[in-house]
A and B are shown apart, each in its own frame.
Chain A
Amino acid sequence: MERVFKTQKIMAWVYTAAALLVFLYTLIFMTEYKDLFGLKLSQNSQISFFHDSVLQTFNRQIFALALAGIVMVAVSFFLELFSKVPDRFALFVFLLLLVFCIGGSVYAFSNIQAIESFYQGLDFQYLYLEGMDGYEPHFTTFRIGYCIYAVQILVCVAYGAVLLLSHTQFVKWLRKTAGSEDGVEKEKRSA
Chain B
Amino acid sequence: MRKKLTKVMLLAAMAMSAALTGCGSSVVEQAEQQTAQQTAENQPEESAGSTEAAVAETGPDLTEEVELKFNFAVGNKSRTMTYNQESPLTLPDGTVVTAGMLKPMWSYVENALNCDFTDVTVQDIKSADMIQTESTSNFSGANIYGGESIAERLMYYGTEGKFVNLSERMEAGYLPNFKAYLEENPDVKTAITAYDGNIYHVPYIAEIGQIGRSFVIRESWVTSLLDAENAGYDTSDFTVYYQGFYVGDNKRTGENGGTVTPKEGVEIVKKTDASIIELQNALEVKNGETLTNALIQYIDENYDYDKPSELYLGEKAAYDIDELIALMRCIKANPHYLTDGKADVVWPMFTRQSSYREELLRLGTYFDGVKVHGSDSYQARWYIDADGVVQYTYAQESVYDVLCYLSDMEAEGLIYSDCYDLSNKTNHRSALWGTDEGEAPSYGFITYDFIASSTADSLNPDTAVILPPVAKVNGVWQYYMDNGRAIKPDGWAISVAGSTEEQIQRACAVFDYFFTEEGFTLQNYGLPMNLDQENKYIGPDGNEYPLFTDWVNETCNNVANGDLSTFLRDWMGCLMPIGYQKEIGFEYQYTSERGFAGWELLKNSTTTIATYAGEGPEGDNPNYYKMIPPVFSLTSRQKETISDSTSIETDDVVEYMFNIIRYKTKGNAPQGAEVAQSYEEYLQMFENRGLELYETTYQTAYEVMTSVN
| Chain A residues whose C-beta falls within 8 Å of the C-beta of B558 in the assembled complex | none
Knowing that A41-B195, A115-B28 touch, tell me 11 more A-B residue pairs with CB under 8 angstroms.
A38-B636, A39-B637, A40-B195, A53-B31, A53-B35, A54-B31, A58-B27, A95-B9, A107-B21, A131-B637, A131-B697
Is B12 close to A, CB under 8 A? Answer: yes
Q: Chain A CB within 10 Å — which of B16, B30, B638, B708 has the most? A: B16
Q: Does A77 contact B (CB under 8 A)?
A: no
Q: Evaluate contact between A106 and B17: CB separation under 8 angstroms.
A: yes
Q: Which of A42, A57, A102 contacts B31 (CB 8 A)?
A: A57
Residues of B within 8 A of A141 (CB): none
Evaluate contact between B700 and A115: CB separation under 8 angstroms: no
Q: Is B40 an interface residue (CB 8 A)?
A: no
Closest 8 CB pairs between A and B? A53-B31, A40-B635, A114-B26, A99-B13, A107-B20, A58-B27, A103-B17, A129-B700
A135 contacts partner chain B, Cβ-Cβ < 8 Å: no
- Binary flags per residue of B1-15, CB closer than 8 Å to A gives 1, else 0: 000010011001100
Instruction: Say if the beta carbon of A49 comes within 8 Å of chain B.
Output: yes
**Complex contact A111–B27 (CB within 8 A):** yes
CB distance from A121 to the nearest CB of B (A): 10
Interface footprint category on A: 20 to 34
A139 in contact (CB, < 8 A): no
Counting CB contacts under 8 A, is B617 at the interface?
A: no
Bound: A129/B641 CA distance, A? 12
For residue B688, CB closer than 8 A to chain A, the reply is no
| A170 contacts partner chain B, Cβ-Cβ < 8 Å | no
Contact B9 A99 (CB under 8 A): yes
Contact of B13 among A39, A61, A103, A128 (CB under 8 A): A103
Instruction: Report whether B28 and A96 are in contact in the complex, using a CB–CB cutoff of 8 Å.
Output: no
The CA of A62 and the CA of B70, in the complex, are separated in Å by 48
Q: Which residues of B contact A (CB under 8 A)?
A: 5, 8-9, 12-13, 16-17, 20-21, 26-28, 30-32, 34-35, 159, 195-197, 635-638, 641, 693, 696-697, 700, 703-704, 707-708
B5 near A92 with CB under 8 A, answer yes
Which of A41, A65, A99, A115 is B27 in contact with, Cβ under 8 Å? A115
A69 within 8 A of B: no
Question: Which residues on A are within 8 Å of B, measured CB to CB?
Answer: 38-43, 49, 53-54, 57-58, 61, 65, 92, 95-96, 99-100, 102-104, 106-107, 110-111, 114-115, 118, 128-131
Q: Which residues of A contact B26 (CB under 8 A)?
A: 110-111, 114
Shortest C-beta distance, A180 to chain B (Å), equals 23
Evaluate contact between B35 and A131: CB separation under 8 angstroms.
Answer: no
Total A-B residue contacts, Cβ distance less than 8 Å: 87
The closest CB in chain A to the CB of B635 belongs to: A40
Contacts of A110 in B (CB 8 A): 21, 26
Q: Choose from B9, B30, B195, B700 the contact partner of A131 (Cβ within 8 Å).
A: B700
Q: Which residues of B contact A40 (CB under 8 A)?
A: 159, 195-196, 635-637
The interface residues of chain A lying within 8 Å CB-to-CB of B637 are: 38-40, 130-131
Contacts of A96 in B (CB 8 A): 8-9, 12
- Using Cβ atoms and an 8 Å threshold, which residues of chain B touch A104? 16, 20
Flag if A41 contacts B704 (CB, 8 Å). yes
Q: Which of chain B's residues has its CB closest to A37's CB? A: B637
Please, how many angstroms separate the alpha-carbon atoms of A95 and B696 in the complex?
Answer: 58
- Chain B residue at minimal CB-CB distance from A53: B31
The CA-CA distance from A42 to B696 in the complex, in Å, is 19
List A contacts of B704 (CB < 8 A): 41, 43, 129
A sample of 19 cross-chain residue pairs with beta-carbon separation below 8 angstroms, ordered by A number, consists of: A40-B195, A40-B637, A41-B635, A42-B197, A43-B707, A49-B31, A54-B31, A57-B27, A57-B31, A57-B34, A58-B27, A96-B9, A107-B20, A110-B21, A111-B26, A115-B28, A128-B700, A130-B635, A130-B638
- Inter-chain CA distance A104–B26, complex, in Å, is 13
Cα distance A98–B693 in the bound complex, in angstroms: 53
User: Measured between alpha carbons, how far is A157 from B310 in the docked complex, in Å?
Assistant: 100
State in angstroms the CA–CA spacing of A106 and B697 once bound together: 43
B580 to chain A minimum Cβ distance, whole angstroms, is 30
Point out the residues of chain B lying under 8 angstroms from A114, CB to CB.
26-28
Instruction: Assess the B16–A100 pair: CB atoms within 8 A.
Output: yes
Tell me how far the C-beta of A4 lies from the nearest C-beta in chain B, rounded to whole angstroms. 18
Q: Please give, as numbers and ranges, the residues of chain A lying within 8 Å of B20 by CB-CB distance.
A: 65, 103-104, 107
How far is it, in angstroms, between the C-alpha of A61 and the C-alpha of B22 when the chains are bound? Answer: 11
Cβ–Cβ < 8 Å partners of B8 in chain A: 92, 96
B51 to chain A, nearest CB (A): 29
Chain B hits for A49, CB < 8 A: 31, 35
- Expressed in whole angstroms, the minimum distance between the Cβ of A6 and any Cβ of chain B is 25
In the bound complex, what is the Cα–Cα distance between A114 and B29 (angstroms)?
A: 10
B residues in contact with A38, CB < 8 Å: 635-637
CB distance from A133 to the nearest CB of B (A): 8
B195, closest chain A residue (CB): A41
- Do B638 and A131 touch (CB < 8 A)? yes
Q: Which residue of B lies closest to A59 (CB)?
A: B27
Q: Once the chains are docked, how many angstroms separate the CA of A92 from the CA of B635?
A: 55
Shortest Cβ distance from residue B361 to the other chain A in the assembled complex, whole angstroms? 29
**Which of A39, A40, A42, A115 has the largest count of B CB atoms less than 10 A from its CB?**
A40
CA distance A131 to B699 in the complex (A): 10
- Nearest residue (CB) in B for A62 is B27
The complex places the Cα of A56 from the Cα of B21 at a distance, in Å, of 16
